[in-house]
Amino acid sequence: MILSFHPCYAAGRNILCAGRDPGAEEFAAIKEAQAVILPQGCRKTLYRMAKENCPYVFPNYEARFQFPGKTGQLHLFQKTGTPHPTSRIFFSVEDFTRQYPGGRFPFMFPFVFKRDWGGEGEGVFLVDSQAKLKEVINEQTRFESGEKSPFILQEYVPSQNRSLRVVIVNKSVVSYWRVQNALNSFLTNLSAGADIDAASDPNIQQSGIRSVLNFCETTGINLAGFDVLFSNADPAKPLMLEINYFFGRKGLGGSEKYYDLLEKEIDRWLFDLKLSVK
């Protein structure tokens, strides 16, 4: 029996576990299942229950839960030797001011400030002056509100105002550039007004795809959207920027096309395991 917790994938048995931890019913069903299909929004508790009690689980979220947040991803890039922009992690504003008192900084202006959590450019700022840094640090202090919250300072990599999004869905790969043409924004998120360009520089795109596939082979990730930079100074070298376990579907043709692709790839994943699809 194939067990699906995904609301858009019909299997031998379907259970919805959104917004709650799994219980006895989910445990019994997982123990009985040959394979388990999980939603992108599954909790760590559901993932662990599935991994510990069923031999086959899709997607593979080991890296997601072992290396959470942007700081966790940075640790994963370092552990796997994956090229990425030079970055420093700080556990709080207090940690930053202790390490860099008196206005000293780990990078020259401009550099990038990133909160540990947030997508579509949320909590990401270009710091191009002392005044901007003060503004960002004051905002982070308010954000912490007495509870320490990690953040990252990262070198700014000039990259023709674009980033490469590479989406991995099991064995399917989709790539496209996100190009920011607005002069007042450095973010290349579609939500920040960036445009989609799937055609330009196919050879560079292939370089980014190879980098992502090598990374996925090492980490086991089989469902995610990866952001890759190519520096103006060294356009032949892909730099891994972020992993998005929740990613937009506009560049994939919209939600309907994405779910069609996801269903096809789950079917293929099961077929490769020699399991009945439904």
Domain that holds residue 230: 61-84+157-247
Convert the pLDDT of each residue in 220-231 to its tens digit: 999 999 999 999
Q: Does 261 map to a domain? A: no
List the CATH number of the domain containing 70. Answer: 3.30.470.20
Mean per-residue pLDDT over the chain, rounded: 93
90 and 145 together in one domain: yes
Q: Are residues 129 and 204 in the same domain?
A: no
Q: Are residues 93 and 129 in the same domain?
A: yes
Examine the pLDDT at 178 and tell me if it is beyond 90: yes
Whole-number Å distance between alpha carbons of 34 and 28: 12
pLDDT tens string 192-234: 788 999 999 999 999 999 999 999 999 999 999 999 999 999 9
**Residues 141 and 201 both lie in one domain:** no
Query: For residues 36 and 51, is the Cβ–Cβ distance under 8 A?
Result: no
CA 19-38-222 angle, to 5 degrees, is: 130
Domain identity same for 170 and 79 = yes
Q: Quote the number of domains for the chain.
A: 3
Asked whether residue 262 is assigned to any structural domain, the reply reads no
Domain assignment present for 93:
yes
* Structural domain ending residue among the three candidates 104, 129, 155: 155
> Does residue 255 sit within a domain?
no
Percentages helix, strand, coil for the chain (3-state, rounded to 5) are 35, 20, 40
